[in-house]
Amino acid sequence: MPIEEEDTRKVQTAVAGSPGADRPVYLPMDAASYDHFIREYPSRDFYCGTLLGGCGKKLSARKYRDKKCHFAHVVSGQCRRVSTNEASADHLYIGRALAAWMKKQKYKNVQVRYRQRGQSLRELVDISYTRGGSPRRHLMRVQLARRSKTEWERSDTELHGQWAGVQWLFGPDSMLANWQVDRQGYAIRIQCRPAGITRVVEVGVQFADAPVEWIPLSRCRMTAYGIHAPALELTPTGLSRLDREPRPSPSRLAEVPPSVSHRAQDVGLSPSGESSLAPVIAPAADLLVRKRRTLERPKPVESHHAQREALAGLVRVPHSILGAPGPSLEQLRAEDDRRGTERVLSLLDRLDQIGDDLHLDQLQKVLREIAFCEEAMWSP
């Protein structure tokens, strides 16, 4: 096609080195970034890469101040490249980043494939490797294109029959991550975002009840059970969701807080609490810890009668030991209501953002949690 027609397409990506190379380059649209881009690629050896679905012909980087900078074909001709936007080379960025990440962790025989039989470009990326000195090969598949659940399950069965192990990652446009969450409790997501004159690869963990938090790939590591991200916990049986709430041991519950210890010294007690008041201080410390955990995780509100009985059974500790009185029952209930309201608003925001991507089971789960929060706030 003529150069003028190609210019109107605003080609933002190319490959460097040769027509069949997998080294992607990204040209920002603003003129301010153009000079930085050219300094990074002084040879200006750009091609409409075949791994981008392009014709393989030479491209030139065009600088404009009155319109967007872009690549254009040096020689006019027919080019049937379909995708030319800034994300059109993300499969190459992802493949190269994952391969380098695996090699840095000393995995062997790392190979990347961008096209499989019967599949189009930008549908998936396969990274195969060996580990632990074993000749058996493992596969990490990045599913970028949308497919049905039936197609995905059939591919998963076939791949597990061909490889020693299979790990799945899902791109931003793949809706299969929801089914992976149902199967194993979480799914690994992957995406690219622009950063200056390049695009960086980020990874996130998708759960059924929380938005994806994106982090750099460098913060993750590969294990025998799959990609270990900060949101996951490595156990002897595999990877599971990390419980971010601290779980104090019984011995910790009985420890005297520092403020209580200082008050004890003021009244002539030892820092360890060895006195006749020790049995009084320990339950009080236990109460403070339990109140704090109650505020951190909203729970169903008990009836006023049950709460009065519970408070009546507690041993009263002199203010000279515990310091200022704690929050009243009304303050605790108000705090629980506030946290419940925030949780409901967060869930509603999430439904507004990604509600169309949830299938029926996940939608019902979110609605049940909203109903639970409302019942906790309005029950007497």
pLDDT of residue 326: 64
For 131-173, what is each residue's pLDDT tens digit?
988 899 999 999 999 999 999 999 999 999 999 999 999 999 8
Rounded to whole angstroms, how far apart are CA atoms 254 and 239?
A: 32
Name beta bridge partners: 198: 195
Nearest partner of 249 among 294, 289, 292, judged by Cα: 289
Mean pLDDT per 10-residue run, the chain (380 residues)?
Answer: 48 94 92 89 91 93 88 85 91 97 96 82 93 92 94 96 96 91 96 94 96 96 95 94 65 46 40 39 41 44 47 47 62 76 71 57 67 60
Name beta bridge partners: 168: 141
Q: In the block, which residue shows the tokens 């807080």? A: 257
Rounded to whole angstroms, how far apart are CA atoms 249 and 246?
A: 9
pLDDT of residue 75: 85
Residue 257, judged by CB atoms within 10 A of its CB (0-12, 13-18, 19+), counts as middle
pLDDT of residue 248: 53
Q: In the block, which residue shows the tokens 């439904």? A: 351
Kind of pairing between the strands at 13-16 and 210-216: unpaired
pLDDT of residue 67: 85
pLDDT of residue 28: 87
Phi-psi region of 287 (alpha: psi -120 to 50; beta: other; left: phi over 0): alpha
Q: Angle CA(234)–CA(350)–CA(379) in degrees, nearest 5? A: 95
Nearest partner of 28 among 20, 36, 16, judged by Cα: 36
For 334-360, what is each residue's pLDDT tens digit?
777 777 777 767 776 666 655 555 555
pLDDT of residue 379: 53
Rounded to whole angstroms, how far apart are CA atoms 46 and 73?
A: 10
Query: 320-345: string of b/e by CB count within 10 Å (b at 16+)?
Result: ebbeeeeeeeeebeeebbebbeebbe
Rounded to whole angstroms, how far apart are CA atoms 181 and 357?
A: 13
